[in-house]
Structure 1
């Protein structure tokens, strides 16, 4: 199960490194959809999978998610068109629910004395794999092409599924609850429709009938989802929780942390792999394997940031570590936006953003325990998990919509963005982190001072971590 979550952890990284090659092969400027489809389906499906797992068994639903993700990897590997590839990536996004299924399965079937250590091992593995993964991904892409990313994922899933089935017992915990299928459809199609309008607006024209139809249709579906969520007894997402200030602020802050990381790591390979001789004001012309020197510092610093939180959070509180991380993310992203001509400076800025990201990731479950009443921690964790998937799905599409209106040239079917476009794309990510600073500062301090942060190591803390710790981008 730990290896499965490591695969989830590097799924974002694998696709971001291969994205320039994929975009050139399919001659598309909509590469951000490969990340968006992956996290959006996972965000919408996770609440449904969670309820089905409670009813039919967590190991059974874990196997279903692995099977769907394997099917998605296979479709992606043989995709004849970019649209089919997006469908495959969306199905592969069923890896996302595996995160909380693994944690809760550990809680249900492992001996109580081993639960805390088991969860710690799984979490550590998800972080450490981020360091060697860029070198593996680069080697695969350079030597076997971008499709090797998907074959690699498929092979891993085919090997891991029977291993988990044979070594892990099924949970005997059962809880029957109502599935909000209507809510899932309205939310997923509403966000997807609006993002299609945003993505293709630069090409179709912002006032074109098709653009307006997707935008207005998406808004109408989202309004319908809100109405539905307020009326039914067990909605996909309980919006009433957002009337609680700490819940709303914690949810938004954690989502913006992940959104910043998603945009930063998606734009970075385009910037580094662009040949400098094109004279665009940026670009180092590295191949996929060479790009690892830019991605690895980000991953290593992210892991280190998580370690720092573990050292100091009980002394200074998670609000301080979260704000510190967001300041680093804002500064590093803005610095990359304004100065990306030097290899050394980009590597340093990437490490700064990674350090801030690690502080933000690790602060999230601690912040949840510190600022949210105990009676609301489990449901808020689920709400935060949705936010940590939806916002990273939305913001890259917004950023690349701007980039696609700033194309400087096309060469052999590949689009190259202007220096101004790269700058604006990164400033969008910096703005997300800056807004998160404001929301984090608005979090109450009194509840934080009274919180028992030692609870992170308890079983309850493991439950919260399961709901609030998506994979590293």
Structure 2
């Protein structure tokens, strides 16, 4: 399982630092790079419910192996024949990594239920550390060749394929009919909403394209809810969506993903800004920025490994709330201390601890109050909450930065707003965490 999540982390972290140099060598415009990112986000939204439902119905190991194969094919394709077309196809195939965690949690719940919380903490720790490591390795390789960095994930893909072959099976298969209509409605709705969130900043938040994509997506989601609630074989158990523990954990995930993942882009801009020109920033180069990201993920590794212990000693409510409080403390410290590398790295350490803590705790708790047959889907809903929180957070942060940008760069006023908003949303997540109550498993 560690090798499987290692592939997930590397593939999620290695492409971002490569896109600028790949764009230059392959003559891909910034708009083309944006479309590659959008394809990835759309594929995430579609793969999540599809792989989760298929895993619950027809076997976690079977669809985990299929997911690994898809990611491996996309990884090798991008490295062997690099072009705009293969990059576009590759990121769609690689987006199947979104199924890894729900399917692995399904296997853990069946094979080692007493070790599930610790196991999830280990997997999340490996995932977060691998994201940072993938960026550092691919960035270093790309200094010699723009396409060489794409090979960073190939050996890891081979290891993951081998790991998938020898993994034990998960829970017995239900074998129920797959609800194609409900899936099509849900996928269409998610595509519309994700498109609006991803391109709203580029199109304009009040533009006709953005509004139409968002409204169409919401209408499709509403139609899906009606159709799924009346179906004899639903895609998602609607009782699960109204289950308070599941709803609260998803809310915590949304808020803390908004504050952390939504901020990562602005973090890179701040680190790379020249204090001599704009008056703020640390004047770091790409490699130094990648090392700071790696440091954040190393701190996340430490906190995720301790999550099972915290859940046992502090309880579920206080562990969820603690992650939100630590993340808020990181942003509040930046409001006061942000002028030197040491001051900034203290905040990065706090952010890493909170990041790893909520990633592990929410993924462990999201399945504890649902029936075995809904394990992967409950985990998938949590992954969607994370994706939407990150997308909306990045959109809000991007809008703040765009509104406070001058010819010399982003102003300090913009970052003060960004840090304040992220701290506030993190505190909302902490408050939701305090509302968590364990309940019996739904049947």
Distance 1:422 1:205, change over 3 A: same
Aligned to 1:9: 9
Q: Deviations over 1:251-287 (max 9, x none)?
A: 2113333343312333322322334443252242322
Q: Deviations over 1:392-412 (max 9, x none)?
A: 3443244334444555459xx
Q: How many residues align?
A: 435
Unaligned runs of 5+ in 2: none
Distance 1:233 1:278, change over 3 A: farther
Aligned to 2:102: 100
Q: Deviations over 1:108-167 (max 9, x none)?
A: 6xxx6x7867995685365257557645632431442564443322443245325643x3
Structure 1 residue 27, shift from structure 2 partner: 5.0
Distance 2:264 2:429 in 1: 18
Unaligned runs of 5+ in 1: 411-415, 452-459, 461-473
Q: Which moved more, 1:25-34 or 1:319-328?
A: 25-34
Distance 1:29 1:277 in 2: 30
Aligned-residue CA RMSD (Å): 4.0
Aligned to 1:467: none
Distance 1:15 1:266, change over 3 A: farther
Pairing of 1:25-44 with structure 2 (within 5 A): 26-28=28-30, 38=40, 41-44=43-46
- Pick from 87, 90, 96: which aligns with 1:88? 90
Pairing of 1:7-406 with structure 2 (within 5 A): 7-18=7-18, 26-28=28-30, 38=40, 41-53=43-55, 56-74=58-76, 76-77=78-79, 80-81=83-84, 85=87, 88-105=90-107, 123-124=121-122, 126-128=124-126, 130-131=128-129, 134=132, 137-145=135-143, 147-162=147-162, 164-165=164-165, 167-168=166-167, 173-279=172-278, 281-288=280-287, 290-336=288-334, 339-364=337-362, 367-368=365-366, 372=369, 378=375, 380-406=378-404
Distance 1:202 1:171 in 2: 42
Distance 1:24 1:95 in 2: 27
Q: Deviations over 1:163-196 (max 9, x none)?
A: 643x346669332123233333333333333343
Contact residue 252 and residue 436 of structure 1 kept, 8 A:
yes
Distance 1:228 1:85, change over 3 A: farther
Distance 1:50 1:440, change over 3 A: closer
Q: Deviations over 1:30-73 (max 9, x none)?
A: 97876775465345423322443455554442332123223433
Q: Which moved more, 1:60-69 or 1:181-190?
A: 181-190
Contact residue 273 and residue 283 of structure 2 kept, 8 A:
yes
Q: Deviations over 1:74-95 (max 9, x none)?
A: 56555645x9745532321101
SS at match of 1:433: helix
Q: Deviations over 1:203-235 (max 9, x none)?
A: 444443333322332332232233233332333
Contact residue 273 and residue 283 of structure 1 kept, 8 A:
yes
Distance 2:335 2:39 in 1: 26
Contact residue 321 and residue 433 of structure 2 kept, 8 A:
yes
Distance 1:94 1:357 in 2: 23
Contact residue 54 and residue 173 of structure 1 kept, 8 A:
no
Structure 1 residue 294, shift from structure 2 partner: 1.7
